[in-house]
C-alpha cells in the first residue's frame, strides 16, 4: 500500500465538495445532467429563488461550522463565473486554511496558478493523506477502487450531487458534496464515525455509474 502523507492542518478538519457558488443553473435544480441511459435523474438537489440566496446560504453554512483556526478541504467545483467569483467566495469564508482538490469546473484555477499561491494551502488533483490516524483517498471524481480499499482506507469524493438520504456505492466511500449534507461541510470526526459502521470491501466489482445509487440504511 502506498504511503499516506500528513498535510498541514490546524484546529478541526472539515471536508466538502461542489458548492458551485454563483452557478445559476444549479440554483433551481435545473441542469442538463443525465444518467448513463440518457434519463434525467429523479431528484433535484437545490431549490433557491435567487442566486444571492443560494450564495449566502453556502457561505453562512460553511462559516457556521468551520472556524477561523480550522482546516477546510474542498474536493472541487467551488465557484462559477470566472476567477473573480472564486476569489469573492473564498474572501467571504472565515477559514483561510484551505486545501483544494481540483474538480472538472475548476479550470479558472488551473489557468491562474500564479495568482492562487496565497489562496490555498495546497492545490492538487488527488490527495492521499492521514488525518488523526485515519487514511483517506480524496478526489473530485468517485473511484470504483482505490488504494487500501480492503484495508480500511476511506475514499472521499464529490461530483455526483446526491441529495440527502442517498449514498453512492459500497464500502468506506462517501460523497461529501454539500447537496448530500444539507449544504453543510462534514467534519473528519463525523466521517470517521460514519465509516466505522460500513464494511471494508476486499473487492468492488461495480463501475462508478449513477445507477449505483441506493438508499442510505443506518
Domain ranges of the chain: 13-26+44-212
- Condensed to tens digits (0 to 9), the pLDDT of residues 113-136 reads 777 778 999 999 999 999 989 999
Q: What's the grid cell of residue 146? A: 482505490
For residue 161, the number of C-alpha atoms closer than 13 Å in the C-beta half-sphere is: 20
The CATH architecture annotation of domain 13-26+44-212 reads: 4-Layer Sandwich (3.60)
Q: What residue has cell string 482506507?
A: 153
CA quadruple 158, 88, 31, 138: dihedral, nearest 10: -10
Q: If the chain, 218 residues long, is cut into consecutive pieces of 10 residues, what is the mean pLDDT of each piece?
A: 77 96 80 56 72 96 97 95 91 96 89 81 93 94 90 93 72 91 95 87 46 41
Spatial CA neighbour of 119 closest among 157, 72, 58, 54: 72
Query: What's the pTM value of the predicted model, to 2 decimals?
Result: 0.85
SS3 57: helix
Amino acid at each position: 500500500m502506498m504511503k499516506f502523507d500528513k498535510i498541514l492542518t490546524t484546529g478541526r478538519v472539515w471536508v466538502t465538495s461542489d458548492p458551485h457558488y454563483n452557478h445559476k443553473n444549479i440554483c433551481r435544480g435545473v441542469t442538463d445532467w443525465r444518467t448513463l441511459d440518457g434519463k434525467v435523474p429523479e431528484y433535484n438537489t437545490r431549490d433557491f429563488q435567487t442566486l444571492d440566496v443560494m450564495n449566502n446560504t453556502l457561505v453562512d453554512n460553511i462559516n457556521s461550522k468551520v472556524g477561523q483556526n480550522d482546516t477546510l478541504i474542498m474536493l472541487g467545483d467551488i465557484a462559477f463565473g470566472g476567477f473573480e467569483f472564486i476569489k469573492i467566495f473564498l474572501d467571504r469564508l472565515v477559514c483561510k486554511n484551505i486545501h483544494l482538490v481540483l474538480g472538472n469546473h475548476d479550470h479558472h484555477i488551473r489557468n491562474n496558478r500564479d495568482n492562487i499561491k496565497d489562496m490555498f494551502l495546497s492545490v492538487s488533483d488527488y490527495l492521499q493523506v492521514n488525518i488523526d490516524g485515519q487514511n483517506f483517498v480524496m478526489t473530485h471524481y468517485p473511484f470504483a477502487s482505490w488504494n487500501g480499499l480492503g484495508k480500511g482506507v476511506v475514499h472521499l469524493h464529490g461530483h455526483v450531487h446526491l441529495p440527502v438520504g442517498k449514498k453512492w456505492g459500497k464500502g468506506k466511500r462517501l460523497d461529501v458534496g454539500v447537496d448530500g449534507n444539507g449544504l453543510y461541510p462534514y467534519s473528519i470526526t463525523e466521517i470517521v464515525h460514519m465509516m466505522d459502521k460500513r464494511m471494508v470491501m476486499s473487492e468492488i466489482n461495480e463501475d462508478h455509474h449513477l445507477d449505483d445509487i441506493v438508499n442510505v440504511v443506518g
